Amino acid sequence: MAATADETEAHQDASDPEPGPRRRPGRIALAVSVFGELLITAGVLLGLFVIYSLWWTNVIADRKADREADRVRDHWAHATDTGPGALDTKDGIGFLHVPAMRNGEVLVEKGTGTDVLDDGVAGYYTDPGRATLPTTGKKGNFTLAAHRDGHGAKFHNIDKLREGDPIVFETKDDWYVYKVYSILPETSKYNIKVLSSVPRESGREKPGHYITLTTCTPVYTSRYRYVVWGELVRVDKVDGRRTPPAELR
């Protein structure tokens, strides 16, 4: 016998759960939800910080370094003084050219503090015994540092250098051409012997005309130092067109 409509409706009503207020999530579930949102926010902030550190600081530093470089070249174009004193300008002392690093010309300024290197330049050490500039003509070690990541990252590709590669330092009047002869991929950041006038850790025992490039390693850390040594092979005079030496053509 078929069920009546009233019986069917009563059966459906009996099978439906009784209406009532919704249960609120427990404290543990709420805590997990909040913690998850915090993790997402932290991840976004960390990502933005990485972008700022590894990209935006490069943009800012390169812009400033380009302005400083223009001032140096303008100074050279209008200066009438010559000799070692002509090297010293308030904006920079010259330009470093290292083809193997594919970093273009790098302005060199006095000092190796972050207030100097963060401007996208290379800086030369000025501590006693480590301030031998090539323009003096004296034997010694022209020691330089630059960032490897962020703030221009001018020495980012220092690991591309090999023995025999050229390193050229350009001043108002001269091109100083060095050749890489020794590389130290890792040493303590407290190892100042690598900056000595006679860098014995490079294998040299006698005074000469050396250049030393230093930067942090591994990449994106400052735990150790990467060191490259070069030795002067010749000095070319700058002509009216500032024709670069053969190593840069």
Catalytic residues: 216
What are 69-74's contacts with CB under 8 Å, separation 24+?
Answer: 69/95, 69/105, 69/107, 72/107
Neighbours of 227 (CB within 10 A): 24
Report DSSP state, residue 56.
Answer: I
Neighbours of 192 (CB within 10 A): 14
Contact 176, 189 (CB under 8 A): no
| The three-state (H, E, C) secondary structure of 155-220, written as one string | CCCHHHCCCCCEEEEECCCEEEEEEEEEEEEEEECCCHHHHCCCCHHHCCCCCCEEEEEEEEECCC
